[in-house]
Structure formats: structure tokens, C-alpha cells
Amino acid sequence: MEHLFLEILANEAQKGNKPSKTFVVSINRVVAAISERFQVQCDVKHVENHLRIVKNQWQIICTIQAESGFGWDDNIKMITCDRSTYDAIVMIIYLYMLNIFQHCIFLLVILIVYNIQ
């Protein structure tokens, strides 16, 4: 389904149609194609929701690629980086998650204290 979805929208983009009012026809084509090929009930809302997901994922990929130390391997269609860049990013994410966890514990303690009194 994903491949068919992206294939139709890529063809529409090559024609010059952009994700605005002109994409309505494209979205309807995706709905009809998925419903027919996979014998499922596909709705415009499903396609629009998935388009938002794809846009968000693409934005994340573009943001990561813009960072120093990251690249793109077109053969395997993946973001690449060297080991030191990977280790640095993992550490940043770990510290970020640890900070969020500590704030959650702090808030939980405050809630417990105020609920006891």
C-alpha cells in the first residue's frame, strides 16, 4: 500500500501538482487505487492522514541530513554517519530523555505531597 501511495503522489508531483488543491485529484486516485488493488475500504481521510505522516518523516530526514556529520546513501536509501557522530547523538538523546524522566519524577513527588495533605 505504501509503495502504491507514494508512487501515485510522486507521479502527480512530477506533473507539477503540489500538495494543495491540485492534490485532491491525486488523493482521490490513491483512494481508488488502494481500494481496488487491496480490496479494502480506503477513505480520503486515511490518505490525507498518511500524507501528513510522510511529510513529517521527510521533514525529520531533511533536518538530520542538514546536520554536520550526516549523509545519505542512495543505494540503501538511508541516512548515514560515522561512529563518533552516532555516539554523540545517542548521548544527546539519552541525556534529553533522562532530563524528561527527572522532571516527571519531580512532578510526581509534588503531586503525591499535595495529595497527602
Instruction: Go through the chain and tell me how many residues it has.
Output: 117
Q: CB neighbours (10 Å) of residue 16?
A: 7
Residue 38 predicted with pLDDT over 80: yes
- Give the pLDDT of residue 20: 64
What are the Cα distances from residue 113, in Å, to 101, 109, 110, 117? 18, 6, 5, 7
Give the chain's mean pLDDT.
86
Q: What digits encode the pLDDT tens for the residues 53-87? A: 988 998 988 888 888 889 889 999 889 999 999 99
Rounded CA gap, 85 and 2, in Å?
A: 31
- pLDDT of 94 > 80? The answer is yes
Q: What pTM did the predictor assign?
A: 0.61
Q: Is the dihedral of CA 26, 38, 60, 66 positive or negative?
A: negative
Q: Do the beta carbons of residue 12 and residue 41 sit within 8 Å?
A: no
